Amino acid sequence: MERPNRFLVRCKVDNNVINAHLPDPGRLKELLLPNSLLFLEHSQLKNRKTHYTVHLVNTPRGYVSINTRYPNMLVFKSLQHYCLPGFEHYQLVRPEVPIKNHRLDFELLSPAGKQVFMEVKSVTLVEEDGTTCFPDAVTDRGRSHVELLSYLASQGLETSVYFVVQRSDASLFTPHWERDPAFSLSLRKATEKGLKIAVYTCLISKESIQWGKHLPYELKDYRYDKK
């Protein structure tokens, strides 16, 4: 029905109006449309302000997960079982790695025994032409992570950003130059220092989230490059 703030939606369950926690603080204006069908989880915990959490949106192009915790959980489980697409032979060392007043998502060990740092980003925005973009809203935190990874790459370490597209209808990834040019430019500059990018879609159902396909990416912004 409405979204009073970034972390709250108001919707109807069995004709009763309820408040539900929204795990994704992004804009989500392309997903949270009037009368859209949401899939919620009910909690019996008494100390919660809201007793529902939003997990999925049912769109004409399929289910979309808007729980930003799932990408990290999916990557973590996949690393534990050596089945993360593109990183099947990498060993998980530890999650939540403190470096320079930041916490990066994962430290890995490459097949060659090299230290690797990885940051995971959740992506939900897909344009009509199949282009998926990140970020949905300005992310100073995301930009600072990319800049830290860029610095580590310049020091000879292997670094990676793993973009998890929480839907299956995307065909190409780009940074969102129009919405967050600072992040987009930092990402492009970081790749010039050695940062690697991986982008994978997900197959979403009411019962599970599975890995989908690998996506190509394009980092150029033609309006910026013409200046």
Shared-domain flag, residues 40 and 138: no
pTM of the model: 0.93
Task: Specify the pLDDT at position 224.
Answer: 56
Shared-domain flag, residues 100 and 202: yes
Q: Which residues pair with 175 in a beta bridge?
A: 134
Task: Specify the pLDDT at position 222.
Answer: 57
Q: Indicate the DSSP class of residue 23.
A: S
Domain boundary at 19, 37, 60, which? 60
Task: Specify the pLDDT at position 227.
Answer: 47
Query: What distance in Å separates the CA atoms of residue 78 and residue 84, rounded to the nearest whole number?
Result: 5
Shared-domain flag, residues 19 and 92: no
**What CA–CA distances, in Å, run from 34 to 14, 128, 145, 191?**
17, 19, 34, 39
Task: Specify the pLDDT at position 225.
Answer: 57
- How many Cα atoms sit within 13 Å of 89 on the Cβ side? 5
CATH code for the domain in which residue 103 is found: 3.40.1350.60
**Can you give the residue range of the structural domain that contains 84?**
69-226
Query: What distance in Å separates the CA atoms of residue 118 and residue 160, rounded to the nearest whole number?
Result: 5
Domain count, the chain: 2
Query: What distance in Å separates the CA atoms of residue 115 and residue 156, rounded to the nearest whole number?
Result: 10
Shared-domain flag, residues 194 and 90: yes
Shared-domain flag, residues 45 and 91: no
Shared-domain flag, residues 217 and 194: yes
Shared-domain flag, residues 51 and 77: no
- Which tokens go with 180? 């967050």
Shared-domain flag, residues 41 and 81: no
Shared-domain flag, residues 53 and 90: no
Mean pLDDT per segment of 10 residues, for the chain of length 227 residues? Answer: 93 93 91 93 84 94 95 97 97 95 95 96 96 95 96 96 98 96 96 97 95 96 57
Shared-domain flag, residues 147 and 182: yes
Question: Cα–Cα–Cα angle for 111, 112, 113, nearest 5°?
Answer: 90
Contact in structure between 56 and 47 (CB atoms under 8 Å): no
